[in-house]
């Protein structure tokens, strides 16, 4: 049988299922041993909670990041509240066992936090829920399954992979991870990728349907889990796994190498990320900077826009993680396919041609200012942040955005807050209009980044989601290639750096063209960094120039593709 899920971490794992169920926290059989005994049990449990949680936080800080670790240190602070503790001892003095005291007091605080009108505060309810379960498991002596010593080729099957589970996990022996919840940008996905363990997420009820010790195959690239298979299939997957590992090994050679072509010319190789947590994974993958930080994910799945402080923290965290390396942050790109409920964007007939990205932000100066202020302040942390405006079609848009930015600087100055007064402002080139006036736009901004996904869609006037016309969507179409060539040339003429942050940057067929035209920086997903570096290493400038000339002589996308595949 094949179970479909979300492929969240590449690779293939074959092994035996280890279902990890949360320990039962049922304490109905526990009888109070009297107030004295229960009080000292409570004190001992709090002490153990504090010790283990602090240790987990330290280990997480080293392995994953500051932010993840702060979740845990925050829990220690909350449980140390003397008034929370005195409520617990009151319950104990009333004749209850320590378990009941913890359960009742935590539940009442959870209810209190769940009802408040502040998104960030509501998340505290989840923390208190965590405190409750970990305190109960300590009191009941049923601490979570020990994952520090696992048999070889273990496939962990869990409801959700949490940061605390990964602490001290015997990673060498984890063949794969399967979870019941989570998507590609969830915490569990980021953790799995950071550990380089294949993972398939969001497979419903998998913890109960798979038996312990059962042999399964997990294909983290395709997002499938095979629970029943014959010997031939097993061998096929063994071979696929070997091939994947072999490729990864080959690419690993490039991890600490500079990004140079065969003639020794240097290029920038950056990563695209969608959250602050992914920055570390990008750095680990060998990225030399962040070429695109999509800030819209900060705005999604919540009920109100993130505050300046929240945004500042996210941007500053990336700036710190990437210390000394450039971090290009794209301002809010919503609209079209990316609707956000609380922003109350009106439904549009043609959202992709509508009120989105920079157009929306310029009309919502209230929102835009908050983001610009947060970016300016975060710029002071490492002087490595650059601002990038999406979907620009005119010079006026850059001027308006920069005027707002100047106002924000004046405000911050008056408030005595630290900010980067010299922050660079660049634009995404992703519309035909921008491509045609690239020479004029270059006079108004500090850098370009070519967004090939939208540039292709808008140049070809094609909706990728419409199966009848999706075939027309092709970055190798001569119209798109000519646009890219002229944008790079305009940037060169104006002496500003030009990068590319669409999928085409990682397309090996385009590498010789981009090298020939003089692209300064390639920004790709973290998982494509090494493969892209390997591609760039292959090319001598002379060869690349010949290939480019041939490709640009072709009249159709198909002919270009054929040329470039040779």
Partner 1 sequence: MVSAQVKIINPQGMHMRPAQLFVTKMSAFPCDVTIVFKGTAINAKSIMHLMAACMKQGSEIEVQCNGEQEEAALAAAVELIESGLGDC
Would you please indicate which residues are annotated as catalytic (active-site) residues? 187, 501
* Residues 114-133 close enough to bind partner 1 by CB under 8 A: 116-118, 120-121, 124
Nearest to 58 by CA among 45, 46, 70, 76: 70
Q: With respect to partner 1, which residue has the nearer C-beta, 116 or 211?
A: 116
CA 322 to chain centre: 15
Only one of the segments 80-88, 198-206, 284-292, 531-539 lies at the binding site for partner 1 (rule: CB under 8 A); that segment is 80-88
Only one of the segments 9-17, 72-80, 163-171, 246-254 lies at the binding site for partner 1 (rule: CB under 8 A); that segment is 72-80
Q: How far is the CB of 340 from partner 1 (least distance, A)?
A: 21
Q: How far is the CB of 540 from partner 1 (least distance, A)?
A: 54
- Contact residue for partner 1 among 28, 29, 82, 414 (CB under 8 A): 82
Q: Please count the other Cβ atoms lying within 10 Å of the Cβ belonging to residue 145.
A: 16
The continuous run of DSSP H or E covering 256 comes out as: none
Say whether residue 339 binds partner 1 (CB under 8 A): no
Q: With respect to partner 1, which residue has the nearer C-beta, 295 or 449?
A: 295
Q: How far is the CB of 310 from partner 1 (least distance, A)?
A: 8
* Residues 469-528 close enough to bind partner 1 by CB under 8 A: none
Say whether residue 417 binds partner 1 (CB under 8 A): yes
- Contact residue for partner 1 among 23, 78, 144, 494 (CB under 8 A): 78
Nearest to 457 by CA among 443, 434, 474, 445: 474
- According to DSSP, residue 172 is labeled G
Q: With respect to partner 1, which residue has the nearer C-beta, 118 or 152?
A: 118
Count how many Cα atoms sit within 13 Å of the Cα of residue 204 in the half-sphere of its side chain: 0
* Residues 304-333 close enough to bind partner 1 by CB under 8 A: 307-309
210: which residues sit within 8 A by CB, 6+ positions away?
17, 19, 157, 178, 216, 227
Q: How far is the CB of 385 from partner 1 (least distance, A)?
A: 19
232: which residues sit within 8 A by CB, 6+ positions away?
none
Question: Token pair 């009309």 is at which residue?
Answer: 363
For the window 269-308, what string marks contact with partner 1 as x by the rule CB under 8 A?
A: --------------------------------------xx
CA distance 320 to 307: 20
Say whether residue 27 binds partner 1 (CB under 8 A): no
Q: With respect to partner 1, which residue has the nearer C-beta, 81 or 341?
A: 81
Q: How far is the CB of 46 from partner 1 (least distance, A)?
A: 14
CA distance 283 to 273: 11
Where would I find the H helices in 149-277? Answer: 163-166, 187-195, 206-209, 231-252
CA distance 383 to 418: 11
CA distance 346 to 245: 48
Q: With respect to partner 1, which residue has the nearer C-beta, 204 or 418?
A: 418
Q: With respect to partner 1, which residue has the nearer C-beta, 180 or 310?
A: 310
Nearest to 388 by CA among 398, 399, 400, 380: 398
Nearest to 398 by CA among 407, 389, 387: 389
Say whether residue 90 binds partner 1 (CB under 8 A): no
Count how many Cα atoms sit within 13 Å of the Cα of residue 475 in the half-sphere of its side chain: 23
Question: Token pair 């962040």 is at which residue?
Answer: 290
Q: How far is the CB of 74 from partner 1 (least distance, A)?
A: 5
- Contact residue for partner 1 among 22, 35, 74, 508 (CB under 8 A): 74
CA distance 548 to 88: 73
Q: How far is the CB of 70 from partner 1 (least distance, A)?
A: 8
The continuous run of DSSP H or E covering 373 comes out as: helix 365-382
Say whether residue 146 binds partner 1 (CB under 8 A): no
Q: How far is the CB of 109 from partner 1 (least distance, A)?
A: 6
- Contact residue for partner 1 among 12, 17, 42, 84 (CB under 8 A): 84
Binding footprint of partner 1, residue count (CB under 8 A): 21
Q: How far is the CB of 127 from partner 1 (least distance, A)?
A: 9
Q: Answer yes or no: are the C-beta atoms of 165 and 199 closer than 8 Å.
A: no
Q: With respect to partner 1, which residue has the nearer C-beta, 77 or 546?
A: 77
Q: With respect to partner 1, which residue has the nearer C-beta, 124 or 386?
A: 124
For the window 373-412, what string marks contact with partner 1 as x by the rule CB under 8 A?
A: ----------------------------------------
Q: With respect to partner 1, which residue has the nearer C-beta, 185 or 307?
A: 307
- Contact residue for partner 1 among 1, 29, 31, 83 (CB under 8 A): 83
Q: With respect to partner 1, which residue has the nearer C-beta, 117 or 256?
A: 117
What backbone torsions phi and psi does residue 15 show, to the nearest 5 degrees? Answer: 180, -170
Q: How far is the CB of 320 from partner 1 (least distance, A)?
A: 17
Question: Token pair 């060539």 is at which residue?
Answer: 485
For the window 192-231, what string marks contact with partner 1 as x by the rule CB under 8 A?
A: ----------------------------------------
- According to DSSP, residue 118 is labeled -
* % helix, strand, coil for the chain, step of 5: 50, 15, 35
Say whether residue 113 binds partner 1 (CB under 8 A): yes
- According to DSSP, residue 260 is labeled B
CA distance 233 to 444: 58
Say whether residue 109 binds partner 1 (CB under 8 A): yes
Q: How far is the CB of 26 from partner 1 (least distance, A)?
A: 26
In sequence order, what DSSP letters do the residues of 485-550 get, joined into one string? HHHHHHHHHHT--EEE-SGGGG-TTTHHHHHHHT--EEEEEGGGHHHHHHHHHH--HHHHHHHHHH
Interacting residues with partner 1 (CB under 8 A): 74, 77-78, 80-84, 109, 112-113, 116-118, 120-121, 124, 307-309, 417
């Amino acid at each position: 049988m094949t179970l479909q899920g979300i492929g969240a971490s590449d690779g293939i794992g074959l092994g035996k299922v280890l279902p990890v169920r949360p320990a039962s926290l049922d304490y109905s059989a526990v009888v109070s041993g009297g107030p004295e005994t229960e009080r000292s049990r409570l004190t001992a449990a709090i002490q153990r909670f504090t010790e283990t949680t602090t240790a987990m936080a330290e280990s997480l800080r080293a392995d994953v990041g500051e932010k993840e670790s702060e979740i845990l240190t925050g829990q220690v602070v909350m449980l140390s509240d003397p008034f929370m503790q005195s409520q617990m001892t009151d319950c104990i003095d009333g004749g209850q066992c320590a378990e009941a005291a913890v359960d009742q007091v935590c539940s009442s605080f959870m209810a209190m936090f769940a009802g408040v009108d502040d998104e960030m505060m509501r998340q505290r309810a989840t923390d208190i829920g965590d405190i409750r379960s970990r305190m109960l498991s300590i009191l009941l002596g049923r601490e979570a399954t020990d994952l520090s010593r696992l048999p070889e080729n273990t496939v962990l099957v869990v409801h959700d992979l949490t940061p605390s589970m990964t602490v001290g996990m015997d990673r060498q022996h984890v063949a794969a991870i399967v979870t019941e919840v989570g998507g590609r940008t969830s915490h569990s996905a980021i953790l799995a990728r950071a550990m380089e363990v294949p993972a398939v997420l969001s497979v419903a009820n998998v913890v109960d349907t798979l038996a312990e010790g059962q042999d399964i195959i997990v294909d983290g690239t395709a997002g499938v889990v095979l629970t029943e298979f014959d010997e031939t299939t097993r061998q096929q997957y063994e071979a696929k796994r070997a091939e994947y590992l072999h490729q990864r090994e080959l690419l690993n050679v490039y991890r600490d190498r500079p990004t140079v072509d065969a003639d020794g010319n240097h290029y920038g190789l950056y990563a695209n990320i969608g959250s602050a947590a992914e920055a570390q994974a990008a750095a680990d993958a060998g990225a030399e900077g962040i070429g695109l930080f999509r800030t819209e994910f900060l705005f999604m799945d919540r009920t109100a826009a993130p505050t300046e402080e929240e945004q500042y923290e996210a941007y500053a965290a990336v700036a710190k993680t990437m210390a000394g390396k450039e971090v290009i942050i794209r301002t809010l790109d919503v609209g079209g396919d990316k609707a956000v409920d609380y922003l109350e964007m009106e439904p549009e007939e043609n959202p992709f041609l509508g009120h989105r990205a920079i157009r929306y932000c310029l009309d919502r100066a209230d929102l835009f200012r908050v983001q610009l202020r947060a970016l300016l302040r975060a710029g002071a942390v490492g002087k490595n942040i650059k601002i990038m405006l999406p979907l620009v079609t005119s010079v006026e848009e850059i001027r308006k955005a920069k005027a707002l930015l100047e106002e924000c600087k004046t405000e911050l100055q008056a408030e005595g807050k630290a900010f980067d007064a010299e922050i660079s402002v660049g634009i995404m080139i992703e519309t035909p209009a921008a491509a045609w006036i690239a020479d004029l736009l270059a006079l108004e901004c500090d850098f370009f980044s070519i967004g090939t996904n939208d540039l292709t869609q808008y140049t070809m006037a094609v909706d990728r989601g419409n199966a009848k016309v999706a075939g027309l969507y092709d970055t190798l179409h001569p119209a798109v290639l000519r646009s890219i060539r002229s944008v790079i040339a305009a940037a060169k003429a104006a002496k500003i750096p030009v990068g590319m942050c669409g999928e085409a940057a990682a397309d090996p067929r385009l590498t010789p063209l981009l090298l020939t035209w003089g692209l300064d920086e390639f920004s790709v997903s973290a998982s494509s960094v090494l493969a892209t570096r390997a591609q760039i290493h292959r090319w001598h400038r002379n060869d690349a120039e010949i290939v480019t000339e041939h490709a640009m002589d072709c009249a159709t996308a198909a002919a270009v593709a054929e040329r470039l595949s040779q």
